[in-house]
């Protein structure tokens, strides 16, 4: 499963910057007196939700990378064990 590492690692590297930019933007929007500004409240909730969902996506991609690495390693170990059997052994 080397494709899992290639695709999802590249995706994680790019997704990492989105919440950084949004987290930098959030305090400026939050400073707009949210209790009285009805248009800023949904914006803060939306930006916060995108940051949280992006973090979950990055964690999920990490889990897929981990699964792909374990699967590949298990396949290599299994193939190696089959190729080193002694001739004539049962």
Q: Provide the residue range defining the domain that includes 9.
A: 2-73
**Residue 88 included in any domain:** no
Closest listed residue to residue 9, CA positions, set 50, 53, 52, 69 = 69
Give the pLDDT of residue 89: 55
Asked whether the predicted pLDDT for residue 12 surpasses 70, the reply is: yes
**Residue 61 included in any domain:** yes
CA 16 – CA 20 distance, rounded (Å): 7
> Whole-structure pTM over 0.85, yes or no?
no
**Residue 81 included in any domain:** no
**Residue 20 included in any domain:** yes
Mean pLDDT of the chain: 79
Number of domains the chain is built from? 1
pLDDT level of residue 4 (50, 70, 90 thresholds): low
**Residue 19 included in any domain:** yes
Reduced to 3 states, what is the DSSP secondary structure of residue 89? coil
**Residue 78 included in any domain:** no
């Amino acid at each position: 499963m080397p494709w899992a590492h290639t695709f999802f690692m590249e995706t994680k590297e790019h997704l990492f910057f989105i919440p950084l930019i949004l987290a930098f933007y959030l305090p400026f929007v939050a400073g707009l007196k949210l209790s009285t500004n009805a248009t800023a409240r949904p914006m803060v909730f939306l930006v916060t939700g995108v940051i949280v969902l992006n973090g979950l996506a990055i964690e999920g991609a990490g889990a897929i990378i981990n699964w792909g690495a374990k699967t590949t390693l298990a396949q290599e170990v299994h193939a190696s064990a089959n190729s080193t059997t002694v001739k004539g052994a049962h």
